A and B are shown apart, each in its own frame.
Chain A
Amino acid sequence: MKHDNLTEKALEVALKRAAPPLSRADKERVARVCDGLAGKPIERAPGFHHALTVAVLRVAACLVLAGSVFVLFKTLRPVPVSATPHLASIPHLRDIETWESAKIVTGILSNESSNLVSDIATLTTILNERSLAILF
């Protein structure tokens, strides 16, 4: 390990020593470059106006982004679905236990069915009468 460090250090020294030395500046080349630069414009550093424009652009971009996110959330929000549609005419199954007895239920249902049967019979009779009255 010690030998490796020594080698690395020696390599660093050798690389520094092996770097070609700087030559003199070529006066003709310098003159050519300076002549070539004569009359060239300097790019003005961005001033206050530029900074203001950038700031306004950033604010505008933030507003657009926020608006897009708002619209996105608005459209993608799931419509809340109520747990179970409440229909007053349909008794809940859990209410069955609260009923007093099966007998009462049977009585109520049989009454309802007999009422329905009589209603249907009445309706059929009336329909028959009316339709026959049209024919004859």
Chain B
Amino acid sequence: MAIALASNTESDLPQRQAMKAVANGDVQAFRIVVEALDPRLIRFFSQLGVPESDREDLFQETCLRLYRAVESYDPQRPFLPWALTIARRVMLNWHRACKPTVALEEADNIPARQRSPGAGAESDLWEFAHACLSASDYELLWLRYGEDLEPAEIAMITHRTSVHVRVLLHRARAALALFLKKDGCAHTLI
């Protein structure tokens, strides 16, 4: 069973203790952190558009950074937002570094990603949101509802204020609802 890792301070206690142990010299304790983060970060990278071939590299890079920065982590603070902050930076660096791999003349042949989330196909909702919303809006929605983080934690990860995050989330939800309404799929969600 995958190790659950939530943002509240009770459920990420093993990770925080492990980080403390690593800081005190018990390097083997970092395996607990890696095991807990593996499904979470792979899903995070997958949802934010990182291809499967690069996910492991990003995961490894994130773990390396977490390991190196173990002494700067404060065990009193929640672990997941801190880890996601680093993972997000790694991913943004990767996005900046990677170049388009599809020639322009072939780009027209690529099928559009946008698909309507029909009845009984709720998993397509995130795909639909990814196609409709901007990357920033989609990321905020994912952190809020996919990762189940609080706006204050998202604010810490994305370097915004909590109020700003709430406003952006509201706008993103409104935009998504509008797209769903235009697409005639809003009734499937009620």
Q: Using A14-B122, A38-B27 as known contacts, list a sample of 8 further A-B pairs with CB atoms less than 8 Å apart, ordered by residue number in A.
A: A6-B190, A18-B124, A20-B47, A20-B126, A22-B2, A29-B56, A33-B63, A37-B30
Interface residues of A in 54-94 (CB under 8 A from B): none
Contact partner, A34, options B2, B3, B34, B142, Cβ 8 Å: B34
B1 within 8 A of A: yes
**Chain A residue nearest to B60 in the complex (CB):** A33
Contact indicator B60/A22 (Cβ below 8 Å): no
Which of chain B's residues have a CB closer than 8 A to the CB of A19? Answer: 126, 142, 145-146
- The interface size of chain A toward B, counting residues with CB under 8 Å, comes to 33
Contact indicator B145/A12 (Cβ below 8 Å): yes
With both chains docked as a complex, state the minimum distance between the C-beta of A23 and any C-beta of chain B, in angstroms: 5
Alpha-carbon distance between A6 and B186 when the two chains are bound, in angstroms? 12
Contact partner, B173, options A12, A17, A20, A26, Cβ 8 Å: A12
Give 1 or 0 for each of B158-181: 1 = CB within 8 Å of chain A CB. 000000000000000110110010
**Chain A residue nearest to B169 in the complex (CB):** A12
Which of chain B's residues have a CB closer than 8 A to the CB of A38? Answer: 27
Give 1 or 0 for each of B1-33: 1 = CB within 8 Å of chain A CB. 111100000000000000000110001001100
- The interface size of chain B toward A, counting residues with CB under 8 Å, comes to 50
Contact indicator B30/A8 (Cβ below 8 Å): no
Which of chain B's residues have a CB closer than 8 A to the CB of A104? Answer: none
Alpha-carbon distance between A116 and B141 when the two chains are bound, in angstroms? 102
Contact partner, B125, options A15, A33, A40, A45, Cβ 8 Å: A15
B131 within 8 A of A: no
A-B contact pairs, 22 of them (CB 8 A): A8-B173, A8-B174, A10-B190, A11-B173, A12-B145, A13-B189, A15-B125, A15-B129, A15-B146, A18-B123, A20-B43, A20-B47, A22-B43, A23-B42, A25-B35, A25-B38, A26-B38, A26-B42, A30-B34, A33-B60, A38-B27, A45-B72
**Chain A residue nearest to B73 in the complex (CB):** A45
Which of chain A's residues have a CB closer than 8 A to the CB of B135? Answer: none
A130 within 8 A of B: no
Which of chain A's residues have a CB closer than 8 A to the CB of B173? Answer: 8, 11-12
A107 within 8 A of B: no
